[in-house]
Structure 1
């Protein structure tokens, strides 16, 4: 009896905590773990002389590299810190502070040589550790008067030996996902005025099918290889890397159908954490920094330039640079965050800090609405933000700013909702690339744009938008809410059409969405756009060109194979006390009827019966021994009586 009971207990416990091939614990809830928080220096530098920009950008890139190295050391030392909390200060935080102090001193010196020396930079040197389950914007300082090492010990104690999810070991976790069918519609649009600009202009630049990726960021870290520490998708301009000059961008090839658009559009790649070894698996920015798994090629990308509901728009200046969102929003807080996640058929509800779990037949959508007000003078600024601004809730621009066409990037992916209950073993997790210490949080999503439109095409864009027309080579590719002829594959189900207000809005202060344009459509390009350039470029380290990796888009499994979320049959109609909605209704003909109970979370598949039996046969054998022991004991007592 004792042997059988022990065998049952040991086997059941082992099965409950069994790790997959990548060594990650297969459970729905993953314990918290620490990450490195350092004050963001770049956002504080709003006045950097042009002559000092190169030196300052280089030092800012060094600060990022220092944080990355400290975070990697933290991951490796979690168990040791649990045993000796002082190690966090001695081996990680104190050395990091010293290195940051030296970099901050050099930044102050560079600026001081050309102008007024900045004050207070030394106050930004110290870093702390924060728990990975703290939401963006929460205090990153040690709580209740604890020292950094005490905070580190608490976090390390919670996570020692467990990891924090994801193939790269630094996220995401189950709490980073939300069932889109439980989200209430939250998209609003401002009222349009008679003097507003209601037209749209669309550019068609492909989906990066030729696989142009690198981990540079020519806007934030020009001249620095791997300045982003995560990989970007690039469409449009084909010469974007850390070393691309304005002339390089102007003379580059473009994947856009209209060759007058050589603008560069880029964003972090989306990966399936399915164990696939991409060509960047052992490269900086890729696997060596926790960005692991299969890069997913988008199913569809639409690039729309919209007007302003309160005024006409003016031309964007050539080489204008805009960043929307914050790649460090998890530790910086939500001040500059502008992530927006949804699913086709549900785009009247947008998620800012969760990845969406889409029902069968619906695709994942990430949307970027860029700043639509310009200061009228600068194509960039020291912190890459203050030269542009979001419009107010009514669509008006701040004093001193003028309205420009608003770029809206909509990226659609054919990926299944992951199986959270088994840690993504059955259906893999998906997440965007990120700085390692940002833990692949969805709130860190961001987009970048450099305007390299020909001036004549820019004038045409502005004229089209101001006159209320629909123009551009991509006009017939717009999503259902913007096109008179929606793509049937973009709709979740006949019962779930997008609402009339489903144009995604991610920034509360920038909600300008033009009315449905007139039926008149002007196309400036041939009906057959040129194919995207072939992937013949070599690695940046060899020629200075962007690194190129190619990756096929994964096939979406059928709704019966994944079984992750049952397809909803109508819009959520009731709201729970926590503010999430529930769905009800009968399934359409030919589909399995859903449960009558409200579905509040996705259903995960945890393996088939054969797999379960193979894992639990020792427990079965133990059960037989236990039963036999009971029988033997009963017979012995019967005979003795």
Structure 2
């Protein structure tokens, strides 16, 4: 798999991105509601195994969360009251003195069904998904189906550095894209990707049906924390390692009526479709304040999370590769 910046350029040159302008819906989140070293999908019930993650969506998530019903009891910072899903990614960090701090998020967007045909079934209740791989240390090791990309929005960036990040200052935001499976067995909740690629997907595997495809789009604002920019190796790292370990996690918390309405968002091409539901309309600002549901356990500090995982030292920002902080290929 090519480096992420080159991969992005290849998509633009080939017209691949233009092909993806099919029907879709979108929900936006202004910022993470917490940073924490938990992962209820990969390390359920364990506080000392996961690297640091940035969490968006329902604040009912804890180390033991398994169901949509649990998430639907929480407060969501999604700008759609019907979406009580929880979304999380490894925290992106920059060097600040002797410590590493989270890079501010300008906006997290969850797109559904961008570049796909009409879904056959809604995203099932209780569905859990992971895209990408926390153990990847090179571009070739990244799962190709996730189409993970890092690039500069509105120019800048140049060629990718040895860690997979843009090799020079971004004009505005650093952006990441990540695609999730779009096929599901509604009985077992097993997921898979369709054959093909975004803009030219084929059929689902036998025994599965097409559901709306989730895509993460995350915009990071580096201008205040790195005002002098960079040239060469970006002074950045993910909590799991370099850019190639990029991954995302999702537990569905959409209300059942809104999830069903989402299917219609994929029924025609070249059109945005607002997904509303019994709790309100898409775009409505959160009316509650999200907070950590389990503040007495785990940590939101990067160095503390590394120490909890038994590491003796924290690597310098902008490093090539080393053993992953996580112990599972799906972390």
| Fold similarity call, TM over 0.5 | yes
- Structure having the higher Rg: 1
1:314 and 1:444 map into 2 onto residues whose CA distance is 31
The residue aligned with 2:136 is 329
Distance 2:130 2:159 in 1: 20
Q: Counterpart of 1:56?
A: none
Secondary structure (helix, strand or coil) at the match of 2:47 reads: coil
Match of 1:395 among 192, 201, 205: 201
Following TM superposition, by how much is the alpha carbon of 1:366 offset from its aligned partner in structure 2, in angstroms?
1.0
After TM superposition, give the deviation of residue 453 of structure 1 in Å.
0.6
Whether the 8 Å CA contact 2:37–2:300 is kept in 1: the answer is: no
Name the residue aligned to 2:121. Answer: 314
State whether residues 342 and 350 of structure 1, in contact with CA within 8 Å, keep that contact through their aligned partners in structure 2: no
1:189 counterpart residue number: 16
Aligned-partner Cα distance in 1 for 2:215–2:116: 15
Contact conserved, 2:7 with 2:149, CA < 8 A, in 1? no
Correspondence 1:453 to 2:263: no
2:203 aligned with 1:372, yes or no? Answer: no
Alignment equivalent of 1:262, drawn from 74, 78, 84: 84
Answer yes or no: is the 8 Å Cα contact 1:197–1:311 preserved in 2: no
Distance in 2 (alpha carbons) for counterparts of 1:310 and 1:534: 34
Q: Is the counterpart of residue 220 in structure 1 residue 42 in structure 2? A: yes
| 1:339-386 deviation digits (Å, cap 9, x = unpaired) | 310110259x99696101354533211111112122343225xxxxxx
**Out of 137, 149, 152, which is 1:343 matched to?**
152
Question: Which residue is equivalent to 1:429?
Answer: 235
| Rounded Cα–Cα distance in structure 1 between residues aligned with 2:65 and 2:117 | 37
Partner residue, 2:65: 244
Q: 1:537, 1:548 within 8 Å by CA — same for their partners in 2?
A: no
- Indicate the residue corresponding to 2:329 in structure 1: none
Aligned residue in 2 for 1:203? 27
Secondary structure of 2:56's aligned partner: strand
For these two proteins, the number of residue pairs brought into alignment is 284
Q: Which runs of 5+ in 2 are unaligned?
A: 303-331
TM-score, length-scaled by structure 1:
0.39
CA pair 302-403 structure 1, distance change in 2 beyond 3 A:
same
Look up the match of 2:267. Answer: 466
Are residues 1:362 and 2:184 paired?
A: no
Q: TM-score, normalised by structure 2?
A: 0.72
Contact 2:45/2:64 (CA < 8 Å) preserved in 1? yes
Q: Deviations over 1:454-510 (max 9, x none)?
A: 110011111122144423379xxxxxxxxxxxxxxxxxxxxxxxxxxxxxxxxxxxx
Q: What does residue 272 of structure 1 align with?
A: 94
**CA contact 1:326–1:336 (8 Å) conserved in 2:** yes
Give the distance between the partners of 1:336 and 1:433, measured in 2 at CA.
19
Conservation of the 8 A alpha-carbon contact between 1:239 and 1:252:
yes
**Aligned residue in 1 for 2:55:** 234
1:306 to partner: Cα distance: 1.6
How far, CA to CA, are the matches of 2:83 and 2:284 in structure 1? 16
Change (3 A) 1:346 1:323: farther
1:307 and 1:360 map into 2 onto residues whose CA distance is 25
Structure 2 CA distance for partners of 1:367 and 1:473, relative to 1, 3 Å? same
Shift of residue 432, structure 1, vs aligned partner: 0.9
Cα separation, partners in 2 of 1:325 and 1:462, compared to 1, 3 Å: same
Unmatched runs of 5 consecutive residues or more in structure 1: 1-135, 138-176, 278-292, 381-386, 435-439, 475-523, 551-641
> Cα offset for 1:204?
2.5
Aligned CA distance change for structure 1 residues 430 and 462 (closer, same or farther; 3 Å)? same
- Pick 1 or 2: higher relative contact order, CA cutoff 8 A, min separation 6: 2
Measured in 2, the distance between the counterparts of 1:198 and 1:182 equals: 21
